[in-house]
Amino acid sequence: MSTIPSLMEAVVKGKLKDVQGLTQKALDEGLAARQLLDEALVKGMDVVSENWKLGKVFVPEVLRSAKTMQLGMDILKPLLTGMSFEPKATFAIGTVKGDLHDIGKNLVAMMLESVGYKVINLGIDLEPKAFVEQVQAGVQCIGMSALLTTTMPQMKLIIDSLEEAGLREKVKIFVGGAPVTQEFADEIGADFYSIDAAHTIEQMNGLFNG
């Protein structure tokens, strides 16, 4: 198997011990860092994301593959510095006010970043203004997470705040979390209801021709 397919397979199968050696071998063979990033590491995570969506792999495998990709990136980063690396889009994500849960949100952030999006992880227990400020700064998409039914109304407050600031049309809004449903997303005027990270990637790729 040639180097790029081997490196891609290392990401897909979460071969933590092999990925850095394969990455260095590919560089020694004269392959460009950007080519390895696009055709092996990112492409490998695309496969993982698709497999997750299909139920072929689960969260532990996804996390292992993401960690494998990051180890490969550690080798490539010094060579990519200074190169034009335009992310597909920028996505700011956070947990709404009154809610301290962040595992699902963090997984979405990590997965989006691994397939070429710039992600701003805003944290937890966020006031609406935290999201408004991101849209003012030019972020194209925001993701709101809630795990408690008592904090779900905060999502509507955030959308209302964006409307009041005249920014609603400038951003795509994603909502998710265990109690959130498509019906609720429609009711509050969100653009997307995301079931999980793989679903979010699929929706983002639909928007930005991923």
Give the CATH number, domain containing residue 20.
1.10.1240.10
Q: Which domain holds residue 155?
A: 90-208
Residues 70 and 113 in one domain: no
Terminal alpha carbon distance of the chain: 26
In the chain, how many domains are there?
2
pLDDT computed for residue 199 by the predictor? 86
Residue at token pair 């805003």: 122
C-alpha dihedral sign at 51, 56, 57, 59 = positive
**Segments of the chain scoring below 70 in pLDDT:** 1, 81-85, 210
Same domain, 52 and 127: no
Instruction: Report pLDDT for 85.
Output: 63
Strand 172-176's sheet: what is its strand order?
118-126, 90-96, 141-145, 172-176, 192-193
Residue 118 included in any domain? yes
Instruction: Specify the pTM.
Output: 0.73
Q: For residue 85, tell me if it sits in a domain.
A: no
The enclosing domain of 177 has a CATH number of 3.40.50.280
Residues 121 and 173 in one domain: yes
**Residue 74, domain member (yes or no):** yes
Element (H, E) at 184: helix 182-188
Q: 96 near 158, Cβ under 8 Å?
A: yes
Same domain, 16 and 104: no
Angstrom distances, CA of residue 71 to CA of 32, 45, 65: 17, 13, 10
Residue 130: inside a domain, yes or no? yes
